[in-house]
Amino acid sequence: MKPNPCESCHQPIVAHEGVSYGSMECGYRLLCSRCFNETVAKQLGLQGFEHVAFEPVRMVDARGLEHEFRFRTRLFGPGVAIDAFELQGGSPAGYRFQVIGEPDDDPLALLGTLITKMRRALALTHLEDTEHGLQVNNGLVLRGTVDSDPDEHHRVPMVVIDGREVSWDELGRMVSTFEGWQFKLQFLDRSEET
């Protein structure tokens, strides 16, 4: 399927780079990340905001598996977010990271902060493959992200742990081995450190 063009610069937009920008009153336009950021910067009166497109980076996790990360920069009201994510089937999936800074922060310094955060997370493992399926490893901690399960029609979540999609049923099976134990469930914004 041919990518849709940006309605500002007319360049093709890959799915994870498109932004539907506008309002119900004025209508919406499909913009690429660069045109979106330039439009928002102009509306906010940000002089000299520079949209920087970063090249993909490959990193190895604690299990020795290689992961390729793409980056997306998005300007929003009070700040700028840089997201790092893997692609599977053309859509973001697997590991996802984010750092938030000020619009006038050095984009390379923000990227450095994000890369450091990614390295720390990739150095940890939480799951172990056993003859009984996935299990919580001996660290007894699970860190990951909550996502939606595209195969579920009942709005059942899915979690991503160690870059692996884990169904709600599979997560339940893994934690059932800790029946009678206490646990602490804490939710943090993607930009915060776990």
| Confidence label for 1 from pLDDT (cuts 50, 70 and 90) | low
Mean pLDDT of 94-114: 94
Is residue 8 helix, strand or coil?
A: coil
Task: Check residue 148 and give its pLDDT.
Answer: 81
What's the helix, strand, coil split of the chain in %, to 5? 20, 35, 40
Q: pLDDT per residue over 106-127, tens digit each?
A: 999 999 999 999 999 999 999 9
Percent of the chain with pLDDT over 90: 69
Got the DSSP string for 138-184? TT----EEEEE-TT-SS--EEEEETTEEEEHHHHHHHHGGGTT----
Task: Output the average pLDDT for the chain.
Answer: 91
Alpha helices in 10-100, H assignment, sequence order: 33-44
pTM of the prediction?
Answer: 0.86
pLDDT above 90: residue 48: no
Mean pLDDT of 17-41: 92
Query: Which strands make up the sheet holding 91-101, listed edge to edge?
Result: 57-60, 66-76, 79-88, 91-101
